[in-house]
A and B are shown apart, each in its own frame.
Chain A
Amino acid sequence: MPPTSRVLEFTVNRTRRRYAGLPFRRLIDVLREDLRLTGTKEGCGEGECGSCTVLLDGAPVNSCLIPICQVQGRSVRTVESLGRPESLNALQQAFIDTGGAQCGICTPGMLMTATAWIEHGGSADRDAIRRCLAGNLCRCTGYQHIVDAVTKVARRGSRR
């Protein structure tokens, strides 16, 4: 029996969205294809690389593993919710200053994982930050400059 369409409601980057379609479409496809939010990247489609990381009710998830029906009533945040090119937020700026982005394809997912860390008051301990980022693969940087960026912002956060 073919799957039937559903109507779902959720928010994406603080905007209310209504979805009418198949319930088991992947969240990443709804974001990229329906909403044209192409900042979220697909690297593997099996939850290994973390490039598609978005925040679901504030927690990082692999959007390639989330069927859209699980998003009913919840809130999604993507890289597009962070600063704009002319007004980057502190974390984005730190990535630029420390060399935390190279090819840039893992960067949106990396930023969302780091955003959750910072917003939940994560420490500036480098080993803890490495553990936090372990689900996001980067093939360019060797991670050190990314850890530098997150450490920098976490340290600033803890001073406030």
Chain B
Amino acid sequence: MPAIGRRVPRREGPEKLTGRAQYLDDVAIPSCLTGVTLRSTIPYGAIRAVTFDPAFPWADFVVVTARDVPYNRVALIADDQPLLADTRVMHQMEPIALVAHRDRDQAYEALKHITVVYGPEAPVLTVDDALAATTKLFGDDNVFKDIRIERGDVDGGLAAADLVMEGEYHLPHQEHAYIENNAIAAWVDPDGTLVVTGSMQCPYYVHKALKGLFGLADRRIRVIQTATGGGFGGKEEYPNVIAGHAALLARKAGRPVKIVYDRHEDMLATTKRHPARVRHRTGVRRDGTLVAQDIDIVMDGGAYVTLSPVVLSRGALHATGPYSCPNVRLRARAVATNTPPNGAFRGFGAPQTLFAAELHMEKIAATLGIDAVELRRKNLVRKGSVLATGQVLRESIGARPVLDICVKRSDYRRTRRAHDRHNRDARQTTWKGIGLAVVHHGSGFTGRGEVMLASRASVVLGRDGTITALAASTEIGQGTTTMLAQITADALGVPVDWVDVEVPDTWKVPNSGPTVASRTCMVVGGLLQRAAVRLRDQLIELVGAVPTTRAAFVRAAQRLCGDRSAVRADEDYRKPPEVTWDEDAYHGDAYAVYSYGAAAVDLEIDRATFEVTVRKVTTAHDVGKAINPLLVEGQIIGGLVQGLGYALLEHVVYRDGVMRNAELTNYVIPTSLDVPPFDVVLVERPYSRGPWGAKGVGELPMDIPAPAVAAAIFHATGSLISKLPILPETIRAADLARS
């Protein structure tokens, strides 16, 4: 029976359901020390001295500082971030020294006996201060990346428009709040190999970082992922730093060292979603046709470059919304501030810019007095539409169907009228609103990214009939292992339980690229599909057909292998010839294909407390092909809930450049009581180059809820609130301001 399209149960489910799955903190490592981190307590300034209490028994501890790091740079895009701060600190919580000891409490005790003498300087804490560039943190202007996109004649379009609508939207930090905190262990094998294992999304990113830090040969570094308790982007790049720390301590100690952050440290020190300010100036005709979009984006990158240029890029490339407009001018900048670096978070810049684009559509519709659904329908992308970068959309465009399905299944228009009646009734204790949003999300790396990654994945057929899929793509909850097994099995023409998926271990698996960017199914799945098809064709050539019984299959495998122990099919990424991208001009096919999603959010607001209760979410997602509908629904509902949290609950408070509410007590993420039932519809507009037509799904749902919630609150209260999160006090303040 084919596995594609079936609700195949999660492969590693039984281990997870019995508590046997080994997350790093569960792994017993003999004679392992615990490593802890001394962090800066000021946002910006010089380190004048690091002194060690002479009365403390330092001989019992392993201690490292910047001087112990062979090459003190964490390799990523710009290589500007030190592994340990040496002469300056650029943000609070920046690592300065590390201590390891058998006993965790003792290790923490030791930190109290290290004194850092600072020469504090006035920090840059806002994007406006960064742009003023009075204090220079990066280059001459504090700008990590400046992107400009221009299409058509924006000034002419604005001049000719019936209405020019302006809007400014503010997006906050968001904390990943994976339930497993960051955790990495390292040791040096007797042959000198540095082994690093732990919770991570991207083993080969860690490999690259370690290579740069220690100057080791490729084979002298081995990175192995353990079971990983959630990532959402939070374990994309930051594990590079922790891996470097654990490796540094382990090399000095001559023993394994484990670093497991507690919740407070994880929230204080690791990455967050980039805050953003997005300004729109949009020209429209009276009938709602978009004629010009002028968009300005500023994202707060934090103290080091890390991934900000590419987060900004994805944000910029989604900033028009899923609409076609003949005249677009866009400028996007990511700037340096003295705050911990912001980083990858599901959606990767797009939730910020799509919030602005979609809520701006509501504003335009209300001002023109036309229906917000009709306004969207008039401008939505369709086959042949041209995006701001000149990209012509060729296929797999489900924007219109996902919107129409949501409108219909949520009974949007009738619900809206019913809510209007309810809201006019002064005796009611609540206001009700329904709002929707429709978005696109590019699958895979941006621009030439996939070409640069040059990913490889492989399928190995053993002489004993074992079939093993090899990829560095990590299982972090989304179902990678199950989905890759389904693809490999169906491409080969065998039952799914004949296929093993290798643990991501850089000694065993090729570099199939990072587990990010909604790329695993479409790109890596596509590589495995092609590799498995090559093996299938060899089997068919040899024995006429792929055997259907296990015994016959093993015999065929033996014949195919001959005197070899296994045959292996490696498959390298090949750029689709029709996809072109000019990085300098920011012109061309920003993504090979886009997925599309829409949601209608129905909510109720207490007139006395302004508390919001989301009653129902109706959603439709065009994912090309749902390889495993159970997993896809899990991605959609989980992503929508993170989006609802972003919209309504999750409030990162920064003071002096550091998070002040770094506990789950004070940083509230949705519980089972905060979220409604979800009505999920899968739409399958196949992409000709995806495996069985599949596109990306992981990030798409995160993009949708925030603008839909804001639209529903606008409907319920008449207040268009352009800043997240929309807390009860925010609604009350907007209500007071209007009356």
Distance, CA A133 to CA B675, complexed state (A): 12
> Which residues does chain B contribute within 8 Å of A146, judged by CB atoms?
672
Distance, CA A136 to CA B229, complexed state (A): 15
Do A137 and B673 touch across chains, with their CB atoms under 8 A apart?
Answer: no
Distance, CA A42 to CA B665, complexed state (A): 15
Distance, CA A41 to CA B15, complexed state (A): 14
Q: Would you call B122 an interface residue if the criterion is a C-beta within 8 Å of the partner chain's C-beta atoms?
A: no
Do B179 and A51 touch across chains, with their CB atoms under 8 A apart?
Answer: yes
> Which residues does chain A contribute within 8 Å of B642, judged by CB atoms?
139
Q: Would you call A49 an interface residue if the criterion is a C-beta within 8 Å of the partner chain's C-beta atoms?
A: yes
Indicate with 1 or 0, residue by residue over B521-538, a CB within 8 angstroms of chain A CB atoms: 000000000000000000
Number of cross-chain contacts by CB at 8 Å:
174
> Which residues does chain A contribute within 8 Å of B672, judged by CB atoms?
129-131, 133-134, 136, 138, 143, 146-147
Q: Would you call A57 an interface residue if the criterion is a C-beta within 8 Å of the partner chain's C-beta atoms?
A: no
Tell which of B14, B230, B231, B263 touches A85, judged by Cβ atoms closer than 8 Å: B14
Within 8 A of A (CB), among B1-43: 7, 9-10, 12-23, 25-26, 28
| Interface 9-mer from B128-136, B565-573, B631-639 | B631-639
Interface size on B, residues (CB 8 A): 57
Residue of B nearest to A94 (CB): B17
Indicate with 1 or 0, residue by residue over A97-123, a CB within 8 angstroms of chain B CB atoms: 101011111111001000000000000
Do B664 and A141 touch across chains, with their CB atoms under 8 A apart?
Answer: no
Q: How far is the CB of B345 from chain A (nearest CB, A)?
A: 12
Within 8 A of A (CB), among B635-691: 637-642, 663-665, 669-673, 675, 677-678
| Interface 9-mer from B205-213, B335-343, B395-403, B472-480 | B472-480
Q: How far is the CB of B158 from chain A (nearest CB, A)?
A: 41
> Which residues does chain A contribute within 8 Å of B637, judged by CB atoms?
141-145
Tell which of B18, B177, B633 touches A139, judged by Cβ atoms closer than 8 Å: B177
Interface centre among B12, B18, B28, B228 (most CB of A within 10 A): B18
Do A92 and B17 touch across chains, with their CB atoms under 8 A apart?
Answer: yes
Q: Would you call B181 an interface residue if the criterion is a C-beta within 8 Å of the partner chain's C-beta atoms?
A: yes
List residues of chain B with CB under 8 Å of any chain A CB.
Answer: 7, 9-10, 12-23, 25-26, 28, 176-181, 227-232, 262-263, 476-479, 630-631, 633-634, 637-642, 663-665, 669-673, 675, 677-678
List residues of chain A with CB under 8 Å of any chain B CB.
Answer: 32, 36-46, 48-49, 51, 78-80, 82-86, 88, 92, 95-97, 99, 101-108, 111, 126, 129-131, 133-147
Among all A-B residue pairs, the 3 with the closest Cβ atoms: A39-B19, A105-B229, A103-B477
Supplied contacts A39-B19, A101-B17, 13 more A-B pairs, CB within 8 Å: A45-B263, A79-B19, A85-B15, A92-B17, A102-B479, A106-B179, A134-B673, A137-B664, A137-B669, A139-B178, A139-B179, A140-B477, A143-B670
A/B interface sample: 27 pairs, CB < 8 A = A38-B22, A39-B19, A46-B664, A79-B18, A79-B19, A83-B17, A96-B14, A99-B7, A102-B634, A103-B477, A105-B178, A130-B672, A137-B179, A139-B176, A139-B230, A139-B669, A140-B638, A141-B637, A142-B634, A142-B670, A142-B678, A143-B637, A144-B637, A144-B675, A145-B633, A145-B634, A146-B672
